[in-house]
């Protein structure tokens, strides 16, 4: 009698251990994604100068276009919440010719905006390379791979490639995002701010095959 009972107990414990092992190996899910983002003209900067007609204010705004590779990291014990990680590149550019306003009031030469980054009229076009980490809420809790609404925040470190001083080539900023997804496609809006830059943009994302472990 001992042998059948022993065999039954071994089979039961083995089944439980195997099921627990399967559960543990699939506790985490990673959803890679490729995003393309378009930033609209943001904060308006100005610089002052004198010409034949008197003091003139030159005004301009930066726009941007870029992309990123990122991932949502989710644990099934915390449904509806994802850790987001991403890295990418954005090209920021301004019009070759902005627009000018002639003023009868004497003004000083130089930039009237705080020259943290884009307020420096000599900067020109530049690239920013953000590395971001954030949190994102997703609804519904089940079936979000078919349809989802999401919103979240990100903290970012920006590395600048442009005519800036070496000590000013790294900046910190944040972003707020929101949108919806259907199948493998995400659509949404993004507000990003770093240094003296702030831009509203739209993005489209393409979700890749998820991984479980």
Question: Using one digit for the tens of pLDDT, what is the confidence trace for 47-93?
Answer: 766 666 566 777 889 999 999 999 999 998 999 999 999 999 999 99
Q: pLDDT value at position 11? A: 46
Domains observed in the chain? 29-44+65-97+116-212 (2.40.160.20)
- 3-state DSSP assignment of residue 168: helix
- 3-state DSSP assignment of residue 61: strand
- 3-state DSSP assignment of residue 120: coil
Cross-sheet strand order for the sheet of 54-61: 99-102, 54-61, 44-51, 110-111
Q: pLDDT value at position 106? A: 46
| pTM of the shown model | 0.78
Residue of 136, 149, 100 lying closest to 121 (CA atoms):
100
Tokens in use for 62? 């930066």
Torsion on CA atoms 186, 91, 119, 188, rounded to nearest 10: -10
């Amino acid at each position: 009698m001992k042998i059948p009972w022993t065999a039954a107990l071994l089979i039961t414990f083995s089944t439980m251990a195997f099921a627990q092992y399967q559960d543990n190996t699939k506790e985490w899910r990673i959803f890679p994604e490729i995003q393309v983002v378009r930033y609209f003209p943001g904060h308006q900067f100005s610089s002052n100068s004198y010409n034949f007609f008197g003091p003139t204010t030159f005004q301009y705004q930066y726009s941007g276009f870029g992309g990123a590779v990122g991932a949502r990291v989710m644990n099934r014990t915390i449904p509806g919440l994802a850790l987001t990680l991403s890295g990418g590149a954005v090209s920021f550019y301004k019009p070759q010719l902005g627009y000018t306003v002639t003023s009868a009031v004497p003004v000083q030469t130089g930039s009237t905006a705080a020259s943290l980054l884009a307020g420096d009229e000599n900067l020109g076009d530049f690239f920013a390379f953000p590395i971001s980490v954030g949190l994102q809420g997703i609804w519904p809790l089940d079936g979000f791979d078919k349809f989802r609404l999401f919103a979240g925040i990100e903290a970012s470190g920006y590395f600048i490639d442009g005519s800036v001083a070496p000590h000013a080539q790294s900046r910190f900023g944040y972003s707020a995002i929101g949108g919806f997804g259907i199948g493998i496609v995400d659509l949404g809006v993004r507000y990003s701010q770093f240094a003296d830059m702030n831009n509203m943009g739209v993005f489209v994302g393409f979700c890749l095959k998820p991984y479980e472990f």
